[in-house]
Amino acid sequence: LKRQLFVDTPASTLVHDCAITENYIIVLDFPLTFRLTRVMFRNEFPVQYEPEYGARIGLVPRHGEGEVRWFPVEPCVVLHLINSFEKDGKVIIHAPRSEPSSEASFIMDYTPAYLHEWVLDLETGETSESCLNPRVLFDFPVFDGRKNGKEASFAYGYPILSIGGPIHRHNSPAQGTLNGGVVKLALADNEGRRKGDVEKYDLPEGWYSVSEPILVPKNGSSGEYVVIFSTETSDDLKMPLRSHVLVLDGDNISEGPVAAFELPSYLPYGLHSHFVEWDNLV
């Protein structure tokens, strides 16, 4: 631990993720609030969506001392940030954004998330924001880690196929999701694509993603391979589940896998995964 800094907020809020730029740490003070009184006096789940709390994005100085600078935004929920960077006196942030319809939404029920952009003007203190693609539901975004804190051209995530999913027998959350394939989302206008454009690879019928996409940098190139862990299901409950590793070329994911192999045992639903260079394991 090199440095510890406390960020004061009016209430305890669920901060699941953060991001950095060259000079700032991004802190989301959004209205997914934690209140013990919900458990103690109303027998409710302590974390709920509370839009009247408001929402703001904080910029915490990474280097040296300084106050947190807050920028008001529209109330929403963001669990997973994609990236943030500084450009022309502004801080730009990308993330899948949700706007729950009730207090219990998001934690106990699924709330759709769409690609969103916030632009914080460091000179005027003003904020502008917009949904970059209101048609594609996705979550668990990843991007080229070599661009962390810098402008990135693309991000990847898994698309939401349906709400309900194979975890319907569990009660938290009451609604799960089925996730299939991978989507590639443009974060900037370049290479013939407009910001918000989406390229997609769909898994075969009955196959579902069981973890977030994994990006593996290409040797001697700025591109990446996209690795998917997928489990194959069947309506015949007697059939064993089978899992596969699929490798896509990030430059053209819609063409399908350039390599694939079956795992010795099946993988259940998970959340996060990561690629580590072999030399970093020893």
Q: Say if residues 10 and 22 touch (Cβ distance below 8 Å).
A: no
What pLDDT, in 10s, does the model give residues 106-142? Answer: 666 778 899 999 999 999 999 999 999 999 999 899 9
What pLDDT, in 10s, does the model give residues 208-237? Answer: 888 889 999 998 777 899 999 998 887 777
Prediction pTM value: 0.89
Residue type, 138: F
**Residue 168 above 50 pLDDT?**
no
Rg of the chain's alpha carbons, rounded to an integer? Answer: 20
Q: How far is the CA of 174 from the CAs of 4, 37, 39, 141, 177, in angstroms? A: 37, 22, 18, 23, 10
